[in-house]
Amino acid sequence: MPKAMITGVTGQDGSYLAELLVSKGYEVHGLIRKASTFNTDRIDHIYQDPHDPSARLFLHYGDLSNSEQLANLIYNVRPDEVYHLGALSHVKVSFEIPEYTGTVTGLGTTRILEAIRRSGTPARFYQASSSEMYGSAPAPQSETTPFEPRSPYAIAKLYAFWMARNYREAYKMFAVNGILFNHESPRRGETFLSRKVTRAVARILAGRQKKVFLGNLEARRDYGYAPEYVEAMWRMLQLDEPGDFVLGTGVAPTMREFVEEAFGYAGLDWRERVEIDQRYFRPTEVDYLQADASKARRLLDWHPKVTYKDLARIMVDADMEAVGLTPIGEGLKLLDRHFGDWHRWASGVTAVIRSAGNGVD
């Protein structure tokens, strides 16, 4: 049975990836942080008591800021594949805690790479690189576009990108960079734009909230559906040779267009419900991210199906269900049509959203 280790297993992508790998017959080991509140909501539905012989997901406490724990874990588990998804992933927050961002999002990658190297395990390594690294580089961006990062987060990710490349070249490690453009889902954290908006739509419909405060709505993001992206992460580690891959849909709406779509789907006029608040603007913004994912189409046979309009419907439906409303239903039909069972997340997502409580913005 192949063994995988996932850092960031409690996050959006980590939870979908854990599901995918368990469904493919992997034994999955996830790194989780010790918190005083429950932080495993997104994976509770696939977690079983480790004493159960059919258990396939095992969780280990650790932190990306501590190399000793990481080294022990990799030495003891000896995974075949390591998916390094853990990071401080919020761009706006990275401006507020730039040093911590460097330690976790940047140096965290070095700690894992070094733990693999020193353990002598021939593990394949996936680095969660980001389209944010392109910053102000003109769109569309591909694997050959020079990076022009515009945030502490992007700069930390760029350092990590080059560390993965360096270990590939220096130590012949099978290390890949997935340069992923924005991918969203009902499991997206509540403070990212897409989820903040779809959650607000549902809560407005339920009478729990009157309006939502947002920042710059003129930036463009290439929006895809997260489960499709984790499938491509796995494909990257099955290749004969390691490489770097851009993943995105090639379609980049403004955030205003996404807001319009989500509110419009629910029959609401967004102009009556959205207020612009300077607090949510960034000191430096990334204006235009649009993927040229032709390499992934060619070498990974990767063809994402979900558009940003579909995404608005899927996420509004899920958030409506979470607040106890009957979903409008187009999003659920889209998932059925495109994917069938795996992406229906019947047990998982609803529970996650229900337990998410009020959150913050």
- Rule CB under 6 A: say whether 290 interacts with ligand NAP: no
Q: How far is the CB of 84 from ligand G4F (least distance, A)?
A: 14
196 binds ligand G4F (CB under 6 A): yes
- 315 vs 198: CA distance, rounded Å: 6
Which of ligand NAP, ligand G4F, none does residue 315 bind (CB under 5 to 8 Å by kind)? none
Residue 330 near residue 317, CB atoms below 8 Å: yes
Alpha-carbon distance of 153 to 99, in angstroms, equals 10
As a whole number of angstroms, the distance between CA 342 and CA 133 comes to 31
Active-site choice (134, 153, 229, 288): 153
Contact partner at residue 12 from ligand G4F, ligand NAP, none, CB < 5 to 8 Å by partner kind:
ligand NAP
- Helix 255-265 to helix 308-322 angle (10° resolution) is 50
Q: Which does 64 bind (CB under 5 to 8 A by kind): ligand NAP, ligand G4F, none?
A: ligand NAP
Minimum CB separation of residue 333 from ligand G4F in Å reads 26
Cβ atoms of residues 246 and 295 within 8 Å:
yes
Restricted to residues 217-256, the positions that interact with ligand NAP (CB under 6 A) are none
Segment near ligand G4F (CB under 6 A); pick from 65-73, 165-173, 188-196, 200-208: 188-196
Per annotation, catalytic residue among 19, 27, 81, 132: 132
* Tokens 């700069």, located at residue: 155
Angstrom distance (rounded) from CA 181 to CA 43: 23
- In angstroms, the CA 95 to CA 264 distance is 33
Decide whether 33 or 305 has the Cβ nearer to ligand NAP.
33
The torsion region of residue 340 among left (phi > 0), alpha (psi -120 to 50) and beta comes to left
State which of positions 166-195 bind ligand NAP (CB under 6 A). 180, 182-183, 189
Residue 302 in 3-state DSSP? coil
Q: Nearer to ligand G4F by C-beta: 124 or 220? A: 220
Helix ranges, the chain (H): 12-23, 67-77, 91-96, 98-101, 107-119, 152-171, 193-205, 226-237, 255-265, 270-273, 294-300, 308-322, 330-338, 348-355
15 is catalytic: no
Residue type, 166: N
Please confirm whether the linkage preceding 140 is cis (ω < 30° from 0).
Answer: yes
Q: Which does 350 bind (CB under 5 to 8 A by kind): ligand G4F, ligand NAP, none?
A: none
The one among 71, 219, 299, 356 contacting ligand G4F by CB under 6 A: 219
168 binds, among ligand NAP, ligand G4F, none (CB under 5 to 8 A by kind): none
One residue of 21, 77, 88, 112 binding ligand NAP per CB under 6 A = 88
Among this protein's residues, is 190 annotated catalytic? no
- Kindly state the smallest distance separating residue 274's Cβ from ligand NAP, in Å: 22
Nearest Cα to Cα of residue 83 among 234, 306, 299, 294: 234
Q: Which residues bind ligand G4F (CB under 6 A)?
A: 89, 91-92, 130-132, 181-182, 191-193, 196, 214-217, 219, 221, 255, 280, 282, 285, 289
**Active site (catalytic) residues:** 130, 132, 153
Q: Which residues bind ligand NAP (CB under 6 A)?
A: 7-8, 10-14, 31, 33, 39, 63-65, 85-89, 104, 128, 130, 180, 182-183, 189
